[in-house]
Amino acid sequence: MQRSGYAGGNMGRLVVFVGGFDPRGARHYHRLFSENAARQGEVDGCTYSAGPREALDVGQGAGAHRHARWAFHGPQGGGEYVFFDWSDQVRAHWPRALWRVAAQACMTYALAVTQWRVLRGLRRQVPYTLLSFTYPLLFGLLAVAAAAGGAFAGWRFAQGLPELAQWLVPMVAAFAVLWGAAGLDKLLHVSWLLRIFNFARISAAEDSEVLAARTQAMAEWVRHRVAQQPGLEVVVLGFSVGSVQAVRLVDALRQPAALVVCGGDGAASASDAPNAPVAVTLLTLGNCIPLFSLMPEAVKLRAALQNLANDSQLYWADISSPGDSVSFGMCDLMRLSLRDAAMPAEALHNPRRMCSPRFHKLFDPLAYRLMRRNKMRMHFQYLMASQKRGAYNFFAMLTAPGAVRDFVEKYLVR
């Protein structure tokens, strides 16, 4: 990784990307961007590319953290891509042992039972997402039932054998069933979903001060960049669970400057930063916002959402597919998210646009059916190349010659 000064600072677009609940960091996402940019270029008959990944140190004190950035280019434009790194916080909430994931899930589903009235709204608006929430529970119950059945069959088979075998055979049979269920989990990504659900509950209760300080430091760094480069277009891009963190970052950008920051471009004092809110475009891809905002203790998140929803100057477009059963696509997002809203959802300004990427238009029917069977693969399609040309094009959108919001309005709004 290069650690020298950034060479693409004169470009007119700054994209701050906040990834999902993923323990993989900047190296993985830089490779994902680079490889899929090349593939999309082959489909479009042009060239999209990513520059080398560089370290980006942002903030001081509790907010200090090393993020990453790289330049990106297309046939009509380019910019700077900042990877907001919170993978360390993900790893802190990513138990490897499946029994620990299952134990946390018991508490998560117990909370869901107490909030059963909320689930009715999900059933009406996003039934496929609600099914994704319930199917890990069904998978777990079936695995336990199958293990119990295997143990019983082993016990029946072991009758007449020595006493030790009568105990050992049922245990081996139950273990074999659970081992097979763990192998199946690698294909179905059940534990991945459970980790997300568990994190939604845990993060609402913990309200991480570390992540809050890191978010504020990044907001101040962006302010400094805008002060250095007037006319810079700032796009905050929140993917999956990162859509929640993107909401917090944009809310911080709306507030007056308050911190002394230090970034990869040099030190900046609070007096150097502008006090006015930063003009920003917010894009959320495959959003998971209601999953987090509906937690009873997520008071601060709901307040941030209310702020953004009432901001007539903010342009927020949510691009989430109804076919992506892990996200909340094309639903009444604020009605689901702001259950304690002081005003009806219809009167709110944001999200200003809610669009479907129409993934089924970007692939052959067989390829699309296979992709939908893999929930993780389908969920990551927002960041990946397509098989055919179509309205949604991640790389064309980021390298569009005009404002990103103009691309959204022209190609995605129906």
- 273/220 Cα distance (integer angstroms): 7
pLDDT digits (tens, 9 = 90+) for 205-255: 887 899 999 999 999 999 999 999 989 999 999 999 999 999 999 999 988
pLDDT digits (tens, 9 = 90+) for 177-192: 999 999 999 889 999 9
- Beta carbons of 14 and 82 less than 8 angstroms apart: yes
Domain map (residue ranges) of the chain: 14-29+43-92+209-390, 112-197
330: left (phi over 0), alpha (psi -120 to 50) or beta: left
pLDDT digits (tens, 9 = 90+) for 52-68: 999 999 999 989 999 99
CATH class entry, domain 14-29+43-92+209-390:
alpha beta
Tell me the pTM.
Answer: 0.90
CB count, 10 Å around CB of 184? 12
- 49/102 Cα distance (integer angstroms): 41
137 band by pLDDT with thresholds 50, 70 and 90? very high
